[in-house]
Amino acid sequence: MLMSGATLLKETGPREVFCGLTSIVWLHRRMPDAFFLVVGSRTCAHLIQSAAGVMIFAEPRFGTAILEERDLAGLADAHEELDRVVKNLLRRRPEIRTLFLVGSCPSEVIKIDLSRAAERLNAELKGQVTVLNYSGSGIETTFTQGEDGALKALVPLMPSSEEEKLLLVGTLANAVEDRLITIFKRLGIKNIESFPPRKSTELPSIGCNTKVLLTQPYLTNTARELKDRGAEVIKAPFPLGVEGSRLWIKAAAKSFGIQDSLVSSTLEPLISRARKALKPYVEKLSGKKLFLLPESQLEIPLARFLHMECGMELIEIGTPYLNRDMMSPELELIPDKTRIVEGQHVEKQLDRVREQQPDLVVCGMGLANPLEAEGISTKWSIEMVFSPIHGIDQASDLAELFSRPLHRQNVLTQKQLSQI
């Protein structure tokens, strides 16, 4: 049992989630001067091309160095092959300032020490490009953990400073981030920076007067590294929904000694507008049964929003990992006896879904089709990382994402009934 009274269970077994390579899709949009070179197989190339291909308008800012058994067998050293690919890339794309070597899971790739490769290339290419590495392997990561790995790799490059600042950590849509920064400025916080920055070379400085406010719940390792650099990590629920965002802003304001009354008067107009916009969705979602399968680590904050503000009934919350300390402000808001399952045994979870017959299941793309075929409405969890859902203003858009599949199901049922 957790402090909150929710029931925590652990489950291991077959998993059905995207790997950490997926996060390249939003990271390369965030830092257009960075390049993500996946050291992987053709499967990895397919994954990231099909996940990201539709969003690339200019020349892609990621690529794949395909190293397969066949290639390696004839090579004296896989490092030589990697160096060749990197140098070719930099000749073609001299504007690249930060190059991430992203590891994957084929056994041939696991044998390559990418941190040594990054070190060697850094020494050779000093002044031209910074080379970093992290793993996006499906064995080690789920899709949002790719961002955690990339940010963790950047932390050692952040300069030190003692200046007091608020550091927003985690990738957000630029427009959403701008709106949140405007709110903090109105509250009197002047020095606000973001990590990752919009330019990979403009890393914010960090030190004992940096107050870190996480925008995403999947940045456990990054938060730990930032703490090790002296920063204070502010404990708060995550900025999803009106309440989560209000408490998130309030926690940051408190750590800067800003009075609650100023926070309330600043947020009040936004909150009443957002509640009004939320109302039609609450009518659709209220009383509906929700089951969240583990994938993005956003499941607990989403469940809290959908229950607290939209009246949904929580059947089960699955999460791939649970950082109890980071998640404690969220867990306190989850109703007693809610089942929270960390990890995954996909078959057992699907059995429970079938048994409980929820109105809506939040799950990975691979599970959505079979469930839909059984007449169970689904929502892809991956949509949450591609949609601007953070902040008070976005609460109704977030609720809309969940009411859409229920509406579609309604229309289908009515059509079927009319044909009888």
Residues in the site for ligand SF4, rule: CB under 6 A?
A: 19, 21, 40-41, 43-44, 47, 104-106, 136-138
Instruction: Please state the φ and ψ torsions of residue 371, each to the nearest 5 degrees.
Output: -70, -40
3-state helix, strand, coil in the chain (%, to 5): 50, 15, 35
- Provide the minimum distance between the beta carbon of 212 and ligand SF4 in the complex, in angstroms, as a whole number: 29
**109 Cβ contact list (under 8 Å, min separation 6):** 39, 40, 41, 67, 103, 137
Complex with ligand SF4: residue 108 or 330, whichever CB lies closer: 108
Complex with ligand SF4: residue 40 or 391, whichever CB lies closer: 40
- Provide the minimum distance between the beta carbon of 41 and ligand SF4 in the complex, in angstroms, as a whole number: 6
Complex with ligand SF4: residue 21 or 158, whichever CB lies closer: 21
Dihedral sign, CA of 387, 389, 393, 398?
positive
- Provide the minimum distance between the beta carbon of 65 and ligand SF4 in the complex, in angstroms, as a whole number: 12
Complex with ligand SF4: residue 296 or 394, whichever CB lies closer: 296
Complex with ligand SF4: residue 12 or 107, whichever CB lies closer: 107
For residues 143 and 113, the answer to whether their CB atoms sit within 8 Å is no
Which DSSP symbol is given to 105? S
Complex with ligand SF4: residue 44 or 285, whichever CB lies closer: 44
- Provide the minimum distance between the beta carbon of 22 and ligand SF4 in the complex, in angstroms, as a whole number: 8
- Please tell me the number of Cα atoms within 13 Å of 151 on its side-chain side: 30
Complex with ligand SF4: residue 71 or 283, whichever CB lies closer: 71
Complex with ligand SF4: residue 43 or 328, whichever CB lies closer: 43
Which DSSP symbol is given to 112? S
Q: Which residues pair with 329 in a beta bridge?
A: none
- Provide the minimum distance between the beta carbon of 57 and ligand SF4 in the complex, in angstroms, as a whole number: 23
Burial (CB < 10 A; 0-12, 13-18, 19+), residue 121, is buried
Fill in the amino acid letter for 398.
Answer: L
How many separate helices (H) and strands (E) can be counted in the chain?
17, 14
- Please tell me the number of Cα atoms within 13 Å of 79 on its side-chain side: 10
Instruction: Please state the φ and ψ torsions of residue 237, each to the nearest 5 degrees.
Output: -65, 170
- Provide the minimum distance between the beta carbon of 45 and ligand SF4 in the complex, in angstroms, as a whole number: 8
Q: Residue number with the shortest CB distance to ligand SF4? A: 138
- Provide the minimum distance between the beta carbon of 141 and ligand SF4 in the complex, in angstroms, as a whole number: 8
**Rounded Cα gap, residues 392 and 387, in angstroms:** 14
- Provide the minimum distance between the beta carbon of 356 and ligand SF4 in the complex, in angstroms, as a whole number: 29
Complex with ligand SF4: residue 105 or 395, whichever CB lies closer: 105
Burial (CB < 10 A; 0-12, 13-18, 19+), residue 244, is buried
- Provide the minimum distance between the beta carbon of 76 and ligand SF4 in the complex, in angstroms, as a whole number: 25
